[in-house]
Structure 1
Amino acid sequence: MSARADIVIVGAGPAGLAAALAAAPSGARIVVLDDNPAPGGQIWRDGAQATLPAEALRLRERLAACANVRLACATRVVALAGARGLLLEDPERGWRLDYEKLILCTGARELLLPFPGWTLPGVTGAGGLQALIKGGLPVSGEHLVLAGSGPLLLASAATAKANGARVLRIAEQAPWSAVARFALRLPRWPNKLAQSFALHDPGYRANSHVVAALGSERLEGVRLNQGGKLLEIECERLACGFGLIPNIQLAQALGCAIDGNAIAVDAWQASSREAVYAAGECSGFGGSELALVEGAIAGHAAVGEPQRARALWRQRQRWQGFAEALRRDFALDPRLSRLAAPDTLVCRCEDVPYSSLAGQPDWTAAKLASRCGMGACQGRVCGAAAQHLFGWQPPAPRPPFSPARLDTLLQLVEDDGAA
């Protein structure tokens, strides 16, 4: 089974929604794909215990009113299919979707760094905990510690507190001087300043980072380094987030140029690959406001509306300033790369410890020697950690990009046979 669209947008977070709405008035046939059951991405994730902001609801309503936009949720990209095609799968079927223009709004994943005890039940990512709570995880009455870096810690803490958790400590690894410098810049972005007051927590401590998660069968406490002094806090949950890693797998498979760890784009949000654009956190983390304006620029550019795209450049520049402040003031302390002990697992899927990787020259050698990255997550967690720990650049992914049914994969063979 196959279909065709003028524009395919991969990702229905803020960037993907904005791209679709910018391109829709042109009359182009647009398909928006997302692997979540509802649009919104990670930042506007829906669920049993989620409260969506008014802007997210407004964008959903506007998108639903566009007759030329089809939203395909719970749909994953399994493989590339020809020069301008994608092999897709949802819970019911697999099919091929061909496109004239492609806009990648694939978002980002959490960076999880290994430390002793990080695989204990009760330890999650900060964003992961937020997603679990929104999906219905009960946390009422539980004692929670968050550790890592950046505003996501505060947002996750607020979600947990709103659902009855007791937040004991928010350990921010950045020094107080960097946090203060960032806070002094916030008046340039008034809505962010207002958010900072709303998210304030008395348990917040800068110059503080996780050393180890404590417990035998599950998490019982956490050991922190706070200003050079070690302390232990009893808790039932530990949520860690050391920043975000752009999700560039599909871009790598397409052959798009990568700048650092993000998709390289020009002023029109166009990638190095013809007819492929990128917007949002896959082209660099900067929050929902930057994602929205980048998505709109990409949408206008994809349908040949350069003047409308150009009119948004100044707004994008403003939010790029916020993104740069985040990167600079919450840069990770090099000490976080030395948290793992020799027996600390780096690849949880294949039980590969730090000591098995430390002497390897690159990612490929590590996989051959230890099976690192060859488990269920296919390197999505340990690959980013290894890149941060050792400087290894993971190679471009090979299909299938996610587990798929055999009858879906057979469509690639049938297409090749028909050609």
Structure 2
Amino acid sequence: MIRTLRRAGVAAVLAAIAPLAVTAPATAASSDTGLFGSADPTYDGVYRQGLAVLGLIAAGQHPDAAAIDWLLGQQCADGAFTAYRPDPTVPCQTSKEDSNATALAAMALIAAGKTAAGTAAAHALANFQLADGGFYASAAFGTPASDANSTGLALSTFAAAGIDPTSITKNGKNGIDFLRSIQVPCTAGSGAGAFDYQPETPLAANDYATVQAVLGLLGKALPVPAATPAAAVPACVPSTDAATAAADAIGYLANRLTATHGAIPSAFGSGTDWTTTANALLDLIAAGQGAAAVQEGLAALQTNARSYITSNGTTSPGAVGTLLLVAAATGTNPRNFGGVDLVAALLATERSAPATATPTPSASASATPRPTATPATLPMTGSRVDLPVAAAGVVLLALGTALVLSARRPRRSRS
């Protein structure tokens, strides 16, 4: 289990948390008015809000002031974000700041026209850079170590903010240097062109790490503009720069989608990872290549749209936001994506302000409670494998422990 989690990566686990669902109504304490989704936002509040805002903007539906204000209210004094601040009046702890949440929030704010706040968040990402040039997710998971997902998201954020990624360096290295150091070589027996989650020997393909790394290497940000990709699929060649490294990964993703009939399997061993599948389509469209793979993936996503965005009858804002991004990039009607009105589905999850009422002795003690995590479920990156949401914290702690232990012991080749 620990090895599977480490191979999947922190970002993959955080993405798994994004579709959390609870049965509580979408009504919140005033501090959570405007937040999308009724799930406990402890682990993914800012991340899913960023995806939701980006998806709505991509669909031509500007989020209301409450949704944007909620995101702005989550920002820390240094420009970064944590996964979620239950009380925005309490100053952030640097150790709890999260680069993935910061990246999604930054891109969302820039897309929403809140350029100053978004650019401040983009610059704050420099605080997550390590000596190898890469970026880590959060110090909350143990000793920080660079990973492909966090680095790719940081590069995409720099692109959104108009920041030259080669100007953000540590020890003379930048994010592109780090990603190239963990790319599976063309001479590998399998996975050539893909990225690993973190350095190891030998390097192994990690699909979710690859899809988040590629967009940043391409110098692209979310949302991806609509485009019709060419049929060509790049062949793997030894990379010499960001462009050739990205091309090699695009070739891997196109072939991966084709081989899996447009449904990339979950890294957790069961079902399909629709989040990775959707992001692979965004990468191919951003690169302008792999038309056949895009069409196959799009058809699979449309067929499974309803099951992807719902869990126990509740809508996941992160999943809906992701599909809205796909719909916009592919020129698909977001109001009828596989028979689902994605815009309406997402807007229906936005938390409203508490109703004003005269308190009574029986009601005053529990007025407008914030939804809790019970009886929540945790679909793992698009599959239907469910865990109690309380286990999410255990999963994250176990992953952090695994990363720390792995960093402290010598690496051995996989048998």
Q: Please report the TM-score for the alignment, with normalisation by the length of structure 2.
A: 0.27
Q: Which has the higher contact order (CA 8 A, sep 6+)?
A: 2
Highest CA radius of gyration, 1 or 2?
A: 1
TM-score, normalised to structure 1's length?
A: 0.27
Structure with a larger share of its residues in helix:
2
Considering fraction of residues, name the structure with more strand.
Answer: 1
